[in-house]
Amino acid sequence: MNLTVNGAEYELASPPLASLLYALREEIGITSAKAGCQQGGCGTCTVLIDGQPRRACLTPLLTVDGASVQTVEGLGDADNLSPVQAAFYEHYAAQCGFCTAGMIMAATALVERKAGATREDVLDALGGHFCRCTGYVKIVEAVVAAAAGEVDTARPDPQDEAGEPEVVIPGSPA
Amino acid sequence: MTIAPLVEQELLRPGSLEEAVEAFGDGSNVTVLGGGTILMPEFTAGRVPAGRVMVLTGAGIDRLTNDGGTLHIGAAVRVAELEDAPEPLGSAARSVADVEIRAQATVGGNLCAPRGSAFPRGDLQAALIALGAQVRSAGAGGERTEPVEEFLPRREGRLVLGVEAETAGRRGAWASLDRPHTHSYTPLAVAAAIGPDGELRIAAGGVGAHAVRLPFAERAGVAATGSEALADVELADDALASAWYRQRMLPVLVRRALSQLEEQA
Amino acid sequence: MKAVGARLPRYDGLQHVTGQSLYVDDVRVPGLLWTKALRSPHHSALIRHLDTSAAERLPGVHAIITHEDVPVNVVGHLAALGVPADEPLLAEHEVRYLGQPIAAVAAESEEAAQAAVDAIEVSYEEREPFLDIRKAFDPEVPKLTPEGNLFFYEPHQERRVRKGDVEWAFDKADHIVQGVYRPGAIEHAPTETQVALVVPEATGRLTVYSCTQAMYFSMGVVATHLGVPLNRLKFVGGTVGGGFGGKVDTATETIAALLALKAKWPVKWRWTREEEFLCSSVRAAWHVEIADAVTTEGWILGRRTMTLHDAGAYTRFSSYGATKHTFHLTGAYTIPNVAFNSYVVWTNHVPTTAMRGFGVTSVSFAVEMHMNRIAETIGMDPWELRLQNANRIGDTAPTRVTLKDPSAVPTMLAAAQAAGVELAGDYRTMTSEPRAGRLLPEHLASQVGDLGSNGGGQ
């Protein structure tokens, strides 16, 4: 079986009825898609298959033979974030980070499908994605901002923004 | 987390409807994999069925066409493709799980999936019954075509090939309880439709092993109080709702669905 | 101090949004062995027979451990606080909860490990389980320990708080308002299940990749079980896929470490979602009984409580959680005369643990429900009842700490505003300033503390 993942082509040895998640994590070594529940219920393994968001844990490998898969590693790196990645970063939409890759992939599909997506559109598109930390508020805000084009993908260096700490205790190593 | 790959199963990959029918045979020792939303978690947990696994991808039964008001739905059509279907089917499809699951789950799976360990399955079934849909299936004794409500109680050992529904001139309504969460099956739902000849069909899902038609409620007509439907069902407790709660809500949902039909008139 | 008040990016934000954050299961090591555990299928049973020899001969199996392989098997999570050790890492002669680990296998694949677990010969003598904390005082119920099912708080069987004269309060009351509140157990359900990876070095030192929330605590637990000094362990952590208290328990690290030492290869143990739900610790269920001595003017003169805390099969943090619970049993309100009794009850449920304010959320639930019940009983507006009794500067807590900065009044006023509730004039302008006038009735006058006397606060 063949699979294109983030633009690179792979010939896979995983069994045909293994899940796409198994092939990504265990054979190819792409770990952003997580094995959260392995029954389609948490969304953290969501990837784009030929541009459409799908649960990698529910996808039998043989049904995606020849397909093109994109994971968050294929969206953008730290110096070149995609709009959705930048929005998640700016809006503090990732806390523990375990659900983040799946959220970003589903949100990316929404934003590409529907510029100017509303809050309701976001709730629908992320309805199956489980975040145990945040309460979803910042995640929804981030995706709405990304859909509205209100993100700055040129990331400031966190160190510049924080500045040098002031020495408040005379003689301290700081 | 175990991610057990399947290695020992004999795999059947029919390239056409005819090959699928032949490979399925009388259905013994064959597990049919449609979208995989129910089976893949079982495989991953190491609960692998004995015998062969038949994968419907590539069998050419995934077409959805609307031919002069008749909806032809292939067994491997994805639930998401029905989101804009005529009511009550569109509402039923939109109420299934989430964007990703709807894009993967199939109509055939929705009709054939057995009741879960503690919950009903098959959220499309009531809507298809209300539309008077016919199921074409293969298996022991050959192919047969029958109304959905007759197919469901004797679906064991059948391979769904497709579903047909006359939707022209039909008005439909859907009333359901909210799901406790996105991935929950619907605890209780009522679908109703009136055909061009004035025939009223009402069905309920979440009432047992599969959806059922509600003939007592139908006979009471659009002015039914809703409680007539209680004579049509045998309610039970499960993880989603108690029989007590369903008994109180079924008449309410019947009434809501009928009110929608009255408002459309 | 430029960081204080500044809007700084998350330090791990960029790695989260680019998929570069490495969680324990993402760490790959050559030659990795995988773990599966033999877990009790019963809530309560004696282990009559345990034989791993057939399992050891299966292909791909590198190590199997039972309690005999654990240098210090029985450890207490709060041993440093003097709480007796009571929980075995691997069950010895008995199992006390469904899912309790008895043996663990390291093999070349998870399937091979599971096959070996299935080949372990084990037989049980099932016992009647004790599952209902309401029967804690029933002499007929099964006992988990020879002493019974109640944790012993030196010098009492229960955690006690006493303040004022509760007999006087109940004599003076116009109404006695009683209620029973039973918040249920809650699974933390982190999206990342419990997981550990342990890599042994030739020197015997272990690198432990851990999803723990409490790095040094978990290091201590592992070192105690292994009987080694802390410098033999190198813990790598910090990336936790959700914990919420459940990853304070050291669920996987010790067993993976023992297997790695025995197999002399790296070992990973990752729980399935089913294991996480069935076998991981939960927030405890509680049974809280409250009786309040109340006046028609809406004053709570006194409160008696009896609380049962479902600890599950072993103590872990329960004695601490129930202590916290007992200290907070007035909620955000001032009650001058109290008698609180809280019992930690061992049952054959999974052991319970920390979860977001554990011990105190059960109080909040019970007390706030009870405030509504009081308001209904005496026909008073529930907002006004709460504001009248809310803690003020100078009030004393049940532990006699004098409150210097209580926040109940401003919090409730903000909640009322957010909820669109119109409060009557003197309630709308209420503050936390010390009680005076109508808000300082005779029965509260003697309880107002000395702000200079201690370092209290709320």
pLDDT in tens, C273-286: 999 999 999 999 99
* pLDDT of res. A174: 41
The minimal CB distance from A71 to the residues C19, C25, C26 is found for: C19
Q: pLDDT tens digits for C2-34?
A: 777 777 888 899 999 999 999 999 999 999 999
* pLDDT of res. B117: 79
* pLDDT of res. C457: 39
With beta carbons less than 8 A apart as the criterion, state whether B191 and B133 touch.
no
Rounded CA gap, C200 and C267, in Å? 9
What mean pLDDT is reported for chain C?
94
Peptide bond into B88 cis (omega under 30): yes
Q: pLDDT tens digits for C188-226?
A: 999 999 999 999 998 989 999 999 999 999 999 999 999
- Residues of chain A contacting residue C12, judged by C-beta atoms under 8 Å apart: 94, 97
- Tell which residue, C97, C102, C107, C116, has the closest CA to residue C44: C97
pLDDT of residue A172 exceeding 70? no
Q: Does C13 touch chain A (CB under 8 A)?
A: yes
Quick one: average pLDDT of C382-400? 96
Quick one: average pLDDT of A13-38? 95
Task: Determine the 3-state secondary structure of A137 from DSSP.
Answer: helix
Question: What residue in B sits closest to A24 (Cα-Cα)?
Answer: B3
Q: Six-digit token pair at C99?
A: 């899912």
Residue C335 CA from chain centroid, whole number: 26
Q: Does B142 touch chain C (CB under 8 A)?
A: no
Q: pLDDT tens digits for A81-140?
A: 999 999 999 999 999 999 999 999 999 999 999 989 999 999 999 999 999 999 899 999
Cβ-proximal residues to C285 (8 Å cutoff; 6+ apart), any chain: C133, C182, C183, C184, C185, C310, C349, C352
pLDDT of residue B140 exceeding 60? yes
pLDDT of residue A173 exceeding 50? no
- Tell which residue, A58, A82, A72, has the closest CA to residue A5: A72
Rounded CA gap, A85 and A108, in Å? 9
Q: Does B183 touch chain A (CB under 8 A)?
A: yes
pLDDT of residue C295 exceeding 70? yes
For residue B99, give how far its alpha carbon lies from the nearest alpha carbon of chain A (Å): 6
* pLDDT of res. C450: 62
Q: pLDDT tens digits for C324-334?
A: 999 999 999 99
Residue found under tokens 């990342």 = C192
What mean pLDDT is reported for chain A?
90
Q: How many residues does chain B have?
A: 265
Rounded CA gap, C72 and C64, in Å? 17
B-contacting chains (≥3 CB pairs under 8 Å):
A, C
Q: Six-digit token pair at A71?
A: 């994971």
Q: pLDDT tens digits for B26-69?
A: 999 999 999 999 999 998 888 888 789 999 988 999 999 999 88
Judge: A46–B100 Cβ closer than 8 Å, yes or no.
Answer: yes
Question: What residue in A sits closest to C8 (Cα-Cα)?
Answer: A162
ipTM at complex level: 0.91
Q: Which residue has the higher pLDDT, C404 or B115?
A: C404
With beta carbons less than 8 A apart as the criterion, state whether B125 and B148 touch.
yes
Q: pLDDT tens digits for B161-210?
A: 999 999 999 999 999 999 888 999 999 999 999 999 999 999 999 998 99
Which of A146-150, B8-12, B103-107, C27-31 is the least confident region? B8-12
Judge: C1–A72 Cβ closer than 8 Å, yes or no.
Answer: no
The minimal CB distance from B1 to the residues C111, C114, C272 is found for: C272
Q: pTM, whole model, 2 decimals?
A: 0.92
Q: Which residue has the higher pLDDT, C302 or A165?
A: C302
* pLDDT of res. A40: 95
Q: pLDDT tens digits for C423-457?
A: 998 999 999 999 999 999 999 987 766 665 544 43
Q: pLDDT tens digits for B200-222?
A: 999 999 998 999 999 999 999 99
Q: Which residue has the higher pLDDT, C123 or C249?
A: C123
- Cα–Cα distance list, C7 to A91, A151, C3, C4, C164 (Å): 11, 16, 8, 9, 48
C-contacting chains (≥3 CB pairs under 8 Å):
A, B
Q: Does A11 touch chain C (CB under 8 A)?
A: no
Q: Does B239 touch chain C (CB under 8 A)?
A: no
User: pLDDT-based confidence at B244, cuts 50/70/90?
Assistant: very high
The minimal CB distance from C8 to the residues A97, A162, A168 is found for: A162
Judge: A34–C23 Cβ closer than 8 Å, yes or no.
Answer: yes
